[in-house]
Structure 1
Amino acid sequence: QSAGAQYSAVGSNKPGMGSQSREASFAFSVFNLMNAIMGSGILGLAYAMANTGIVGFCLLLMLVSSLAAYSVHLLLKLCDQTGDPFYYYSMSSYLFILKSELPAAINNFLNANGAGTTWYEDGRLLLILITLCFVLPLAILPRVGKQFVTNTQKSCVLRLHGSLLFVLVFVCLMIIIHFNKVCCLSKLQGFWSAYAIPTMAFSFLCHTAVLPIYCELDRPTKKRMQRVTNLSISLSFILYLVSALFGYLTFYAHVDSELLQGYDAYLPRDIVVMTVRIAILLSVLLTVPLIHFPARKAVILLLFGSRRFSWWIHSLTTVCILAVVLILAIFVPDIRNVFGVVGSTTSSCLLFVFPGLFYLRISNQRFRSLDYIGAAFLVVFGVMVGVLSLTLIIWTWVQSF
């Protein structure tokens, strides 16, 4: 099958849509979607729990995950009505993790003192090298699913879809560290944080991957894809909750906004911590190319339309997107700012506002239908949460000066 087939629509079984073969099973689609959900957001959830309390965190996480599943439901209904399977995304936080954690990982393995005098302790330089040597070759592949697997690409794809396994390793090792090496005892009680809901929204943002995965799902129906989404979000909810809980119970008041830095500070050069760091670094590194696919597809459609596939346009768009994301990752000082600002703006829009607006604008449902009311609620909720959180975040910045 040609590379240009990635721009074909959902399937020939719906009016107005092109045809393409489908090879992704239900389990493979769940795995793919979980791989899109689970990412750098896992590092900020323990900090959110420390500022909202365990009960408050659980309630908010359940609310955000439920609304995420519902917004996907609206997107799938629109996809069936319009035949348009595309969306978009942002990747800066993943590269920020590499910038902040890769030098520490190298120092741990080399048993260095971390004085910052050698080239491999410069996170910005390492980030550029990793992007050029690893992320770019994977991101420039033309397809996201099994259909782009060829003899020359197979090893890259296996590593790409292995990132979820590294997240599982990360969560398991967090539990081991908690029960064997509790670092702090003082508790922090909190009820609200400007970063809590934005971080959760950021963590559950998978909408860019939903429709491309729907394109490749075997025996595609809205109900079948909704089951894929519900199962993926439910399993991710469990992993997020476990990781946040054990991260919080390990550090309590000393939870860092970037969880790995807390482990490194209290357990320097510990073999378990080093393993956790490598697991999450590999997970983040392998997720960047995966979430790049829908971003590139959206940019190409916006700028060039649905014309015949062109390697020149494909490659130029890939390089430009990675360059912008790389610049943002290099100059952002704290990942809490990434989770807060991106979560309250981009993530809130993609998770709540845009699915609701699209449904209200495009759907042929009646004004008082349940989904119409639900879509309106998503828009109002997303706008309120985004504006309130962003205002509080900016206020904390002003207070810190």
Structure 2
Amino acid sequence: MEMQKISNCIHNDDAVETGTPPEGETFLQHKDDGLNRPQFTDFEGKTSFGMSVFNLSNAIMGSGILGLAYAMSNTGMVLFLILLTCIACLSCYSIHLLLCSAGVVGIRAYEQLGQRAFGHPGKILAAVIITLHNIGAMSSYLFIVKYELPLVIQAFLGQTSITENWFMNGNYLIIIVTICIILPLATMKHLGYLGYTSGLSLSCMVFFLCAVIYKKFNIACPLETVYSNYSANAPISDDICFAKFFTINHETAYTIPILAFAFVCHPEVLPIYTELSNPTKRRMQTIGNVSILGMFIMYFFTAIFGYLTFYGYTEAELLHTYSKVDPLDTLILCVRLAVLVAVTLTVPVVLFPIRRAIMQLLFPEKPFHWLRHITIAVCLLFVVNLLVIFVPNIRDIFGITGATTAPTLIFILPGLFYIRIIPKNQEPMSSRPKIQAACFTTLGFIFMIMSLTFIGLDWMSGEN
């Protein structure tokens, strides 16, 4: 798929009228090569192009990939491809808006863009939204560890049921995983250092995709084992093993927000941009396009091969459907372990924007300090662990935060930043780019209202 080409950003040559210094005037220069290149931070970015792609792709990739086959079963292959393509292109455009806004005012922090656009309330709003959204994401990853890791250990030990041993208790396991794996990675000074772990995480998800493709050609339809788990009175239609190109049902409307949330990576874009070696807007936009294209390919192939394996009986969690076919399948057991590794290694990447948001709110003028850096990470992980351990059903909390923060980060804030920050003498409100940004922001409000409406209807009906 050819991604949407992004137009060149506007340079702030006339910034004197707006009181905003041109990009590059207020930043430190490279000290070793004598070139007059702008720097946005007090250190020279050293993260390579490839590592930046790994980090951004890992930020995009989430546990939602397990439900894409189910989403395709409720839309059909053609409609799903159309929706996935539209969301991917919109995500690229959203990154374009962020980079243009950051380039004009010389800022590479989401919260500072909020302050430049709307003053201190804008800074607080951006920081709070990033914090809520990423805490929800980290909690969802640790929930997977809590419920899946005991099953993996049980299978490796050859036990038929989970025992009362401490090493089979999910609450103990997430604490151990947090202390031994997540915390050391989260205390690294720069996000770029996580490029290697992000590469390993993506490799695990590629292994998951390969297993899905392999199983498509090794599981025949119809599946009596799967069908026997449904009600005996539920008839099996004659076309159950035929793929549908277009499908409209009561679950179809949920697919659009699900796909939109699958590409949320925008809080990580500017931190990755800050640590990029030889940073330019064009280079960072290319990183965004390559990352989204890679996730687009993985999402589509995972969805289509998962759907073509189980067709109308695809469940919301794809691995659970495979387990119904053969609970002791060694390959699926390895896939579960790979998914656990992937989500565990994603938590530190998601934590970095939260820590940066807190630093921007509480210590905006303070230099880097290791004690502050580590303390914030420990406190965040402590709060997330408490949520995962003591909240029995956090689905509604995630539903509300996901329906409000995700469209805000993808659509609403990037569009508003662009409208407010780009000088009116260069682009009036009647110009095409700002009209597009306004429509983009409106689309975000539509997504938010639609998602909240669906959640409200579920609450009133009492359905899951």
The alpha-carbon deviation at position 166 of structure 1 amounts to 0.8
- Matched with 1:21 is 44
**Could you tell me how far 1:10 is from its partner in structure 2?**
7.9
8 A contact 1:174–1:243 mirrored in 2? yes
1-structure distance, mates of 2:40, 2:408 = 28
Evaluate the alpha carbon distance shift between residue 398 and residue 113 of structure 1 in structure 2; reply closer, same or farther with a 3 A threshold: farther
Query: Do 1:47 and 1:248's aligned partners in 2 also have CA atoms closer than 8 Å?
Result: yes
- Cα distance in 2, alignment partners of residues 157 and 375 from structure 1: 32
1:59-94: per-residue Cα shift (whole Å, max 9, x none)? 111111111110100000011112221234512221
Task: Say if 1:105 and 1:274, in contact at 8 Å, map to a contact too.
Answer: yes
Closer/same/farther in 2, CA of residues 157 and 70 from structure 1, 3 Å limit: closer
Are the counterparts in 2 of residues 114 and 121 from structure 1 also a CA contact under 8 Å? no
TM-score (norm 1): 0.87
**1:299 pairs with 2:358:** yes
The corresponding residue for 2:188 is: 141
Instruction: Identify the range of structure 1 (108-117 vs 344-353) with the bigger mean alpha-carbon deviation.
Output: 108-117
* 1:256 matched residue in structure 2: 315
Cα 1:15/1:160, change in 2 over 3 Å: closer
Map of 2:151 onto structure 1 = 104
SS of equivalent residue, structure 2 residue 365: coil
Structure 2 residue aligned with 1:358: 417
1:378: how far off? 1.8
CA distance in 1, matches of 2:77, 2:392: 28
Q: Please, what TM-score do these two structures have when normalized by structure 2?
A: 0.76
Q: State the 1:277 CA deviation.
A: 0.7
Q: Does 1:207 align with 2:266?
A: yes
What are structure 1's unaligned runs of at least 5 residues?
A: 1-8, 147-155
On the 8 A contact 1:198/1:343 being kept in 2, the answer is no
* Post-superposition offset of 1:391: 1.4
Find the partner of 2:80 among 57, 70, 73.
Answer: 57
Q: Deviations over 1:115-166 (max 9, x none)?
A: 45333333233222211222112111121114xxxxxxxxx86345311111
Deviates more, 1:111-120 or 1:28-37: 111-120
Structure 1 residue aligned with 2:215 = 177
**Is residue 2:237 matched to residue 1:237?**
no
2-structure distance, mates of 1:267, 1:145 = 40
Are 1:167 and 2:205 counterparts? yes
Distance of aligned partners of 1:19 and 1:318 in 2 relative to their CA distance in 1, 3 Å threshold: closer
Deviations 1:154-193 (A, max 9, x none): xx86345311111111111111112112465636844553
Number of aligned residue pairs: 384
Q: For the aligned residues, what is the CA RMSD? A: 2.6
Separation (CA, whole Å) in 1 of partners of 2:372 and 2:148: 33
SS in 2 for 1:52: coil
- Which is further off, 62-71 or 33-42? 33-42
Q: Do the aligned partners of 1:332 and 1:338 also contact (CA within 8 Å) in 2?
A: no
Which secondary structure does the structure 2 equivalent of 1:348 belong to? Answer: helix
In the TM superposition, what are the counterparts of 1:349-388 in structure 2 within 5 Å? 349-364=408-423, 365-388=427-450
* Structure 2 SS opposite 1:281: helix
What is the CA–CA distance in structure 2 between the aligned matches of 1:66 and 1:375, rounded to whole Å? Answer: 14
Query: Aligned-pair distance for 1:338?
Result: 7.4
230 and 21 in structure 1: CA distance in 2 versus 1, 3 angstrom threshold:
same
**Pick aligned residue for 2:286 from 209, 218, 227:** 227
Closer, same or farther in 2 for the Cα pair 1:391/1:327, shift >3 Å?
A: farther
Match of residue 120 from structure 1: 167
Conserved in 2, the CA contact under 8 Å of 1:194 and 1:390? no
Q: How has the CA–CA distance of structure 1 residues 203 and 137 changed in structure 2, closer, same or farther, with 3 Å as cutoff?
A: same
Name the CA distance, whole Å, in 2 between partners of 1:22 and 1:86.
15
**Letter aligned with residue 166 of structure 1:** C
C-alpha distance 332-124 of structure 1, shift in aligned 2 (>3 A)? same
Work out the CA distance in 2 between the residues paired with 1:338 and 1:250. Answer: 33
Query: Is contact 1:96-1:332 (8 Å) kept?
Result: no
Change (3 A) 1:213 1:311: same
1:86 and 2:113 are equivalent in the alignment: no
Answer yes or no: is 1:344 the counterpart of 2:344.
no
Relative distance call for 1:288 and 1:300 in structure 2 (3 A) is: same
In structure 2, how many angstroms separate the alpha carbons of the residues matched to 1:116 and 1:338?
30
SS in 1 for 2:100: helix
- Partner of 1:196 in structure 2? 255
Distance in 2, Cα, partners of 1:51 & 1:157:
35
- In structure 2, stretches of 5+ residues that fail to align are 1-25, 30-35, 111-129, 224-239
More helix by share: 1
Which has the larger displacement, 330-339 or 103-112? 330-339
Return the letter of the residue paired with 1:138.
L
One-letter amino acid matched to 2:296? F
Query: Contact 1:124/1:330 (CA < 8 Å) preserved in 2?
Result: yes
- 3-state DSSP of counterpart to 1:161: helix
Change (3 A) 1:330 1:59: farther
Larger Rg: 2
User: Does the 8 A contact of 1:44 with 1:258 survive in 2?
Assistant: yes
1:76 maps to a residue whose letter is L
Residue 94 of structure 1 aligns with an amino acid whose one-letter code is Y
Identity %: 45
Q: Which amino acid aligns with 2:386?
A: I
2-structure distance, mates of 1:46, 1:173: 14
- Alpha-carbon distance change, 200 to 337 in structure 1, aligned in 2, over 3 angstroms: farther
Structure 2 residue aligned with 1:322, among 381, 392, 401?
Answer: 381
Distance of 1:285 and 1:202 partners within structure 2: 19
What secondary structure does 1:162 align onto? Answer: helix
Whole-Å Cα distance in 1 between the matches of residues 28 and 291 of structure 2?
23
Identify the match of residue 390 of structure 1 among 434, 452, 464.
452
- Cα distance in 2 for residues equivalent to 1:300 and 1:61: 35
